[in-house]
Amino acid sequence: MAYRYFATPKRKFIIADTPGHIQYTRNMVTGASTSNAAVILVDARNGVIEQTRRHAYIAALLNIPHVLVCVNKMDLVEYSEEVFDRIKADFIQVAGRVGNQDIHFLPISAKLGDNVVDPSTNMPWYTGETFLGLLEALPVGKDWNLNDPRFPVQYVIRPISDEYHDYRGYAGRVASGVFRVGQKVVVLPGGLKTTVEAIDFAGQSLDYAFPPQSVTIRLTDEIDVSRGSMIVDAVNQPQQSQEIDLMVCWLNEKPLMVRGKYMVKHNSNEVRCIITEVKYKVNINTIEEIHNDLHVGLNEIARITIKTTKPLFFDPYKKNRDTGSLILIDEGTNNVVGAGMIL
């Protein structure tokens, strides 16, 4: 997997170039996990193939908000509108099965530049945006969850100096929602209620904070807060459980072990767990569930259940990508072995 960076007068971009072959599924999941948009290239000569379905499924599984389907090499099919429409219809069928949402279709020729930066004179029947124009216009500001206030605490700041004698702040990144001064909140796992007294950022005070800002929140009451705690809205709270169902992409050569013990890292919280059950695997070429073979190896995706030593505070991944994701770590090697999306 390679990263490339570029900018236009309107936006800055990071491209995660992930291989499409099945043996690189973990690379695709890694690149997709923080992406706002997925660009799926379809060869106009071949149409929708297994690799296309695999890309669409992973984009849906990782809840990527926007999908750009670029039907490439249109010059090799004589810029045929009929070919483009057929591929579009085929992909819409796949998207209906896997759950892709905001989908955009573009006929392009990357080699010749048709509809990449400038509109193509070879395809007057296409009147939509160019590839770059669409990238610049995607409403990525709406991708953040602003409805569910979640603030995982990463660090407790206590200078204990003459200037800041009684200062006690909780530093972290706003995962979702909006926090405001005077807002009633609850600190998990204790469940004690308090109020946001102040929000500090780079030496100044803010009236409110939103994702993905990294800030320090001060509370009106001195209560037990440490790394791994989560500050949430007093009314709108996440789920809490020790038994959690998730979809996992296995990232390690050593296969998943049922009843195996792993470390879970969920935001700033770390707990131990065991995998209690593999419910099924997914054939990511056909998008079918496999129930008669529950051996989960490298690059395979499965639905599993874990039981943790302490409750986690989470939202479903489809609702909140930050509080709905976790990683599994092998305790012996400290290697990340699985990337999980909570159901």
pLDDT digits (tens, 9 = 90+) for 90-120: 999 999 999 998 999 999 999 999 999 999 9
162, two tokens:
């003459």
Provide the pLDDT for residue 101: 86
Tell me the C-alpha distance between 263 and 28, whole Å: 23
Of 265, 253, 304, 329, residue with least CA distance to 26:
253
- Token look-up 């259940």 returns 305
Strand-strand pairing, 325-329 and 288-290: unpaired
Confidence of residue 291 (pLDDT cuts 50, 70, 90): very high
3.20.20.150, 3.40.50.300, 3.40.50.620, 3.40.630.30: CATH of 2-142: 3.40.50.300
Q: Is the pLDDT of residue 83 over 80?
A: yes
Q: Work out the average pLDDT over 41-57.
A: 93
146, two tokens:
């602003």
Q: Is the pLDDT of residue 342 over 80?
A: yes
CATH of domain 239-342: 2.40.30.10
Tell me the C-alpha distance between 70 and 58, whole Å: 17
2-142 and 150-233 agree in CATH topology = no
109, two tokens:
């020729």
Report the range of poorest mean pLDDT among 110-119, 157-166, 205-214, 251-260. 157-166
Provide the pLDDT for residue 269: 94
Tell me the C-alpha distance between 306 and 144, whole Å: 27
Q: Work out the average pLDDT over 244-266.
A: 96
Domain ranges of the chain: 2-142, 150-233, 239-342
69, two tokens:
């389907």
pTM: 0.89
Tens-digit pLDDT profile for residues 114-153: 999 999 999 999 999 999 999 999 998 888 999 999 999 9
Superfamily name with CATH number, domain 150-233: Translation factors (2.40.30.10)
State the chain's mean pLDDT as an integer: 94
Cβ partners under 8 Å of residue 160, min gap 6: none
Q: Work out the average pLDDT over 13-40.
A: 87
Q: What is the DSSP string of 232-243?
A: EESSS--EEEEE
Tens-digit pLDDT profile for residues 323-338: 999 999 999 999 999 9
Confidence of residue 242 (pLDDT cuts 50, 70, 90): very high
Distance (Å) of CA 58 to CA 36, 73, 189: 13, 24, 33
Distance (Å) of CA 119 to CA 76, 133, 137, 186: 18, 10, 16, 53
| % pLDDT > 90, the chain | 83
245, 305 in Cβ contact below 8 A?
Answer: yes
Residue 80 identity (one-letter amino acid): S
